[in-house]
Amino acid sequence: MRHEATTRRRAPTGWVSCGFPGGRRECLRLHGGRGYGHKYTDEEMAWLAECWVGKGALFMFNNLFMEEDALRFLQVLRRVEERS
């Protein structure tokens, strides 16, 4: 089953789609900008992590660097969680 995003928010990293129907959990789909070619910086990832730490959000990188960005984001998220 495909869930459509219920809202769209503007972030420094571009448009972020978020929200499952019924408000069960936030899901952020990070497209990587036009052509999916943006490689997220540690600063952009830290901003996202700080906004969403402890809220049970799901993140999906949908860009050309998705695997690398997702692995780096895990490291950034862990650092932010340790500080919280």
In what order do the strands lie in the sheet containing 58-61?
7-11, 14-18, 27-30, 58-61
Rank 12-16, 30-34, 46-50, 73-77 by mean pLDDT and report only the highest: 73-77
Task: Give which of 35, 4, 36 is closest to 21, Cα–Cα.
Answer: 4
What's the pLDDT band for 17 if we cut at 50, 70, 90?
A: low
Q: Is residue 4's pLDDT more than 50?
A: no
Q: Give me the percent of the chain exceeding a pLDDT of 70.
A: 70
Say yes or no to pLDDT of 52 above 80: yes
